[in-house]
Structure 1
Amino acid sequence: MVLNEIVWKLRTGSAWRGVPERHGSGQTLYTRFHTWALYGTAGRMLRAIQAEKDAVGDIDWLVSVDSTIVRAHQHAAGGKRGLAIGA
């Protein structure tokens, strides 16, 4: 159950403190996830789940990136003024 709640948080992008009460305490989930990440447990669990799902064809490894969610600083549109390309 804890794993499902952590996955919900990661999938939605919610803050730990924003996890609904029905999912348990955000602090408890954070502490568990942090401990799992620190000791490599989270990575091992992810690899095991991926291997299991890949073996039965439940994973589509096609990745699509929507660039509309990539934020750029307001000044990122141009370079320094007065410099010519190749100068």
Structure 2
Amino acid sequence: MSKTDLQRFGARVRAEREGLGISQEELADRAGLHRTYLGGVERGERNLGVLNLIKIARALHVDPSALLVDFSERKRR
């Protein structure tokens, strides 16, 4: 994943979180992650693993693939 991809992913997480009306701290607590780690994910500074992706998705009440939808629609070269 490029830095731009990480930023797009982080923006997607942020949008889902804000849609639920919860803070980073609340989402981090629900996901069992540290708030600063989640902040780094939202800013595109963290390249998270699959397990943390699943934790975040569950805490947001979305399928993990919903956080990756923008990437699957990208045209392949």
Task: Give the structure with the higher percent helix.
Answer: 2
User: Rg larger in 1 or in 2?
Assistant: 1
Structure number with greater CO (CA < 8 Å, separation at least 6) is: 2
* Length-normalised TM-score, structure 1: 0.29
